[in-house]
Amino acid sequence: MRLSEPVNICLEPIGTVVSTRSETTDDYWDKEQCFVELLESYGDESLLGLSEFSHAEIIFYMDQVDPGGIENCARHPRGREDWPKTGIFAQRAKNRTNQIGITVCKISRLTDNRLYIEGLDAVDGTPVLDIKPWVQEFGPRGPVRQPTWMTELMKNYWA
């Protein structure tokens, strides 16, 4: 069955990001300290075995994005006219239709209902939708390519 109209999907957060960053600026995310705090309904066992992995994918809802700024067409990334106009699905911009973010993060440690991670580009208070272990076999198969403007854009993203 093909969708002819949007379908409403309701997701329940599993936890919240606790971070030293509270503003949705674009660069220098590696300077932040953060963890995911699971809701009380998720006991200690929900994280059991995750410490055996080096990384986890954090899927989150970018709730602090202004709904009036959401875009679904082509634009210049970060408003830079020297970079080509590209569609929203050829970017990782926060002003996406469904405001979903996905980041692979290094696992630092787990304590009780907290997952301490490095390299998460989500601000304090962001709802977390899911956590998945990063599995090498789910990574890209074969060579990876990307345009030079993306490499330029990412230059200070994690710095």
How does pLDDT run across 20-48, given as a tens digit for each residue? 999 988 899 999 999 999 999 997 789 99
C-alpha distance across the termini of the chain, in Å: 45
Sequence-separated (6 or more) residues with CB below 8 Å from residue 63? 99, 125, 126, 127
45 vs 124, higher pLDDT: 124
Do residues 159 and 79 touch, judged by C-beta distance below 8 A?
A: no
| Amino acid, single-letter form, for residue 84 | P
Whether pLDDT at 3 is above 80: no
0.85 surpassed by pTM: yes
Considering the domain delimited by 15-135+146-156, tell me its CATH architecture: Beta Barrel (2.40)
Task: State how far Cα 105 lies from the chain centre.
Answer: 9
